[in-house]
Amino acid sequence: MVSTYKAAADIEVLTTNFPVPGFGLVPVNSYVFKGAEPLLVDTGIVVQSGEFMAALRSVIDPAELRWIWLSHTDFDHIGMLPQLLAENPRVRVITSFLSVGIMSLSSPLPLDRLYLINPGQSITIGDRTLTAFKPPVFDNPATMGFFEQSSQILFSADCFGALLSDVPQSAADLEEKTLRDGQIFWGSVDSPWVHNVDNFAFARQLDGIRKLSPKLILSGHLPTAPGYLTERLLSALAAVPAAQPFVGPDQVQFQQMLQKMSEGQQ
Ligand SMILES: [Fe+2]
Ligand SMILES: [Fe+2]
């Protein structure tokens, strides 16, 4: 189910909790930034496209959208992209060159409706200026987050995600340990390369976020996080390199999971 809530007066969250059997729930978020030139940040999960459109329509007429920020091309971010482009000839996609290349393998983006951006570059849309940045962790080389200058809101793409058992609307409502453990686990699953990074180099990346001092952090996979949680979020990420690497269930464990699931259904 895709539901909505407000992250700020002019920002709507479209969210769903995706279950990972045996591990918990991954929140999957998209955002509508209202204003002179409304912006949709990511477009939901491919298999939930109908539900996503209903939720989107409950917060804005999709024909009013002027921009889509496509953080990267994973299936939990591109769900309604082709339909939105087909239905709304005015909407343009802000993304990276790599996103365009990857999308060309399945659902090519219209080349005359792109705005390509690289880390450090900015785009002004209506009353908002978005500066692109490469988050410290990511699972897709196309990934691009942004920092919105006037409101000092950070959108971090997959970075700062957490695997949770309950998903509140605000990360401030999570126990500190629950948030930390959920983030570390997500980091190990989603960005396993972090186990191989140089700690000092990684700390510099985290420092880049610290210097921005965001008032609000919006992640694709975390409840809305007020700025005062930034240190807590960065501290959890800093612990990922030394954390236990994730190893998925093998066939024996998978059979046991299936058995448990079928017993639960009986
Ligand atoms: Fe991703
Ligand atoms: Fe994602």
What SS3 class is residue 26? strand
pLDDT digits (tens, 9 = 90+) for 191-206: 999 999 999 999 999 9
Ligand 1 centroid–CA 266 distance in Å is: 35
pLDDT digits (tens, 9 = 90+) for 37-68: 999 999 999 998 889 999 999 999 999 999 99
Query: Which ligand gives the minimal distance to the CA of 42?
Result: 2
Query: Which residues neighbour 32 within 8 Å (Cβ) at sequence distance 6 or greater?
Result: 11, 12, 14, 38, 39, 40, 41, 56, 59, 60, 65
Query: Which ligand gives the minimal distance to the CA of 220?
Result: 2
Q: How confident is the model at residue 172 (pLDDT cuts 50, 70, 90)?
A: very high
The predicted pLDDT at position 32 comes to 98
264 pLDDT higher than 80? no
Query: Which ligand gives the minimal distance to the CA of 137?
Result: 1
Task: Note the pTM of the prediction, 2 decimals.
Answer: 0.96
261 pLDDT higher than 90? no
Tell me the angle at which helices 230-238 and 176-190 cross, rounded to the nearest 10 degrees.
50
159 pLDDT higher than 90? yes
Ligand 2 centroid–CA 266 distance in Å is: 33
The predicted pLDDT at position 249 comes to 93
